[in-house]
Amino acid sequence: MARKTRLIKIDVQNEKSKSIISSTKFSIEENRLILQGDNFAVIDHGKKVNLVAYYEDGITFMEGIVTLSVEKQINIDLLDAGEKTDRRLYIKVKSSDNAIVLRAHALYDDSRTYNVKSKVRLRDISLGGICFYSNKVFLVNQKVVLNLNSIREDLVVTAQVLRKEKERTPINYKYRYGCKFLPLNNEQQRLICEYVFRLELENYHNELAKDMKIYDE
């Protein structure tokens, strides 16, 4: 039997996949979710909302209908409770934003780091990891400290290199690195999750616009 993991936090999102309510005080009775807190955004009765539930070892996506919304409480009837998803399997989206590798750990001595301070370009990102282009040389299993300043200026995370490939396309970068994020705190998860949702929505609208242009022609 799988070990039951603790539910830590639940976020309610708006149409742009931005968290507008976040609560660590909640209860679930059958299909009724009750979140409590202070200064909640008030949402119209009957409005359909998306939710993200954060567990100790993964996340769940849910949908629901708002049945009560006041500043200190929101009640939501769940439509889709979803399935808990390991972060490594989380949806991946393409990105061309920049980031900065601030420093790297010595491969066989985690206590030693050296400054890098090199701009890199993202290829894709998920809640479980990141792929980026760089002209710097890093080694498989090496840990790097990244400033994801395109998401938020002070968002600094640590990732471990899983794959290194020589880049053959003409993009002014020599290498492509696939990395997994080392444990993220709740705030880091929230920021990256919102960023991924926003990019997914933007990419969908861009593809839709292309399809409509082709159809019009």
In contact, 63 and 11? CB cutoff 8 Å? no
**Choice between 44 and 83, residue whose per-residue pLDDT is larger:** 44
Virtual CA dihedral for 159, 160, 162, 168, nearest 10 degrees? 60
Per-residue confidence (pLDDT) for residue 212, from 0 to 100: 60
In the structure encoding, which two tokens stand for residue 57, read together?
Answer: 């070892």
3-state secondary structure the chain: CCCCCCEEEEEEECCCCCEEEEECEEEEECCEEEEECCCCCCCCCCCEEEEEEEECCCEEEEEEEEEEEECCEEEEEEEECCCCECHHHCCCEECCCEEEEEEEEECCEEEEEEEEEEEEEEEEECCCEEEEEECCCCCCCCEEEEECCCCCCCCEEEEEEEEEEECCCCCCCCEEEEEEECCCCHHHHHHHHHHHHHHHHHHHHHHHHHHHHHHHC
**Choice between 126 and 61, residue whose per-residue pLDDT is larger:** 126
Q: Does the structure show a pLDDT above 80 at 58?
A: no
Per-residue confidence (pLDDT) for residue 133, from 0 to 100: 96
* Average pLDDT rounded to a whole number, residues 116-126: 94
Query: What are the residues facing 35 on neighbouring strands?
Result: 26, 74
Q: Does the structure show a pLDDT above 50 at 60?
A: yes
**Choice between 1 and 55, residue whose per-residue pLDDT is larger:** 55
Instruction: Give the model's confidence band at 215: pLDDT under 50 very low, under 70 low, under 90 confident, else very high.
Output: low
Instruction: Give the model's confidence band at 71: pLDDT under 50 very low, under 70 low, under 90 confident, else very high.
Output: very high
Q: Does the structure show a pLDDT above 60 at 3?
A: no
Closest CA to 12 of 2, 31, 42, 30: 42
Q: pLDDT for 144-179, tens place per residue?
A: 999 999 999 999 999 999 999 998 877 889 999 999
The answer to whether the predicted template modeling score (pTM) of the entire model surpasses 0.75 is no
Instruction: Give the model's confidence band at 87: pLDDT under 50 very low, under 70 low, under 90 confident, else very high.
Output: very low
Instruction: Give the model's confidence band at 88: pLDDT under 50 very low, under 70 low, under 90 confident, else very high.
Output: very low
Per-residue confidence (pLDDT) for residue 204, from 0 to 100: 67
Task: Go through the domains of the chain in sequence order and give each one's CATH number.
Answer: 7-85 (2.40.10), 89-188 (2.40.10.220)
Q: pLDDT for 41-55, tens place per residue?
A: 999 999 999 888 877
Closest CA to 141 of 114, 90, 177: 177
Per-residue confidence (pLDDT) for residue 209, from 0 to 100: 65
**What span, in angstroms and rounded, lies between the C-alpha atoms of 128 and 133?**
18
